[in-house]
Structure 1
């Protein structure tokens, strides 16, 4: 995977690679559709979109990807990295807020996101801070996702941003936590969770 990082775009870090690891396993081993449909929310450099595509291709399949970022520079960065890896034709890159333009009822296999999750003001750094509690973006995503029909949701959060609330909100709209990975870095745990739609 060849990655170019533009100025002001979140550089892939431990949380990105942890999310990519679980996403790769999910797309490669769990999703049964021949053409997995994946939405990457907050695509940044496009690492997660690329991971989904490469994981599907390693199994002899082709994935259908929508990569979303509200920041134009990030959307451009995602496009550049898809093109540099010869995968641009397999993805649509959209600049919009969370899942605003995705129609409800469309079949989606996986929604994946490593959103800004640290408690703090967007005005300070919107790439890492997710509002006063750290989970404002995550709540927006869950609100949209619960109105849709995704089979799996892969989300990364910090132990500082009330990940337990995320599990409750998703449980309330019929998603069950089926996999979790946590890694400790400095002052926090990075937690990546996989949720499965019950009675999909």
Structure 2
């Protein structure tokens, strides 16, 4: 995977690679006769979009990924990296707020996001701060998931945020936590969770 990072874009870090690892695992276990529909919310450099597509293509499957980021530079970075890795034909890249551009009741197989999750003011640094409790951006994603649906949702959070509330909210929407991976880095644990719809 070749990644170029434009200025002011969140570069792939430990949380990015951990999210990509679980995404690859999910994709490898759900490739079948149908084309997978995947949404990458907060695409940044496009690393998660690339990870999903590389996994699908390497296994002879078919997929379409919608990569969304609110920052035009992130969208440009995602497009550039898709082209450089020969995967542009499998994805659409849009600049928008979270899942706003997705039509109501549009069902997808997988939603993946490594959103800003540290407690803090989103407007001070939108790349890392997810709101006062760290989960406000994630909760907006969950509201869409509850309303319009996906079969599997992959979310990454921090032990510094109220990540257990994410589990609670997802449970209220009919999702169960099936996989969790936590890795300790410096002052926090990075927690990536895979939820599967039960109803």
TM-score normalised by L of structure 2: 0.97
Contact 1:104 1:149 in 2 (8 A): no
Q: What SS is found at the alignment partner of 2:145?
A: helix
Aligned residue for 1:70? 70
Please list every run of 5 or more consecutive structure 2 residues that lacks an aligned counterpart in the other structure.
none
Taking a change above 3 Å as real, the CA distance of residues 33 and 140 of structure 1, as seen in their structure-2 partners, is: farther
Aligned residue for 1:139? 139
Aligned residue for 1:169? 169
Is 1:26 the counterpart of 2:26? The answer is: yes
Deviations 1:82-101 (A, max 9, x none): 01111111100011111112
Question: After alignment, is 122-131 or 111-120 more displaced?
Answer: 122-131
Contact 1:156 1:190 in 2 (8 A): yes
* Structure-to-structure mapping, 1:109-128, within 5 angstroms: 109-128=109-128
* Structure-to-structure mapping, 1:43-192, within 5 angstroms: 43-192=43-192
Q: What SS is found at the alignment partner of 1:127?
A: coil
Q: What SS is found at the alignment partner of 1:183?
A: strand
| Residues in 2 aligned to 1:95 and 1:101: alpha-carbon distance in whole angstroms | 9
Deviations 1:85-126 (A, max 9, x none): 111111000111111121232230000000000011123211
Q: What SS is found at the alignment partner of 1:166?
A: helix
| Residues in 1 aligned to 2:99 and 2:44: alpha-carbon distance in whole angstroms | 15
Taking a change above 3 Å as real, the CA distance of residues 122 and 87 of structure 1, as seen in their structure-2 partners, is: same
Cα offset, 1:145, TM superposition: 1.1
RMSD of aligned alpha carbons: 1.0
| Residues in 1 aligned to 2:174 and 2:33: alpha-carbon distance in whole angstroms | 21
Cα offset, 1:67, TM superposition: 0.1
Please list every run of 5 or more consecutive structure 1 residues that lacks an aligned counterpart in the other structure.
none
Contact 2:32 2:61 in 1 (8 A): no
The number of residues matched between the two structures is 199
The answer to which structure has the higher strand fraction is 2
Cα offset, 1:29, TM superposition: 1.4
Contact 1:42 1:113 in 2 (8 A): yes
| Residues in 2 aligned to 1:160 and 1:170: alpha-carbon distance in whole angstroms | 19
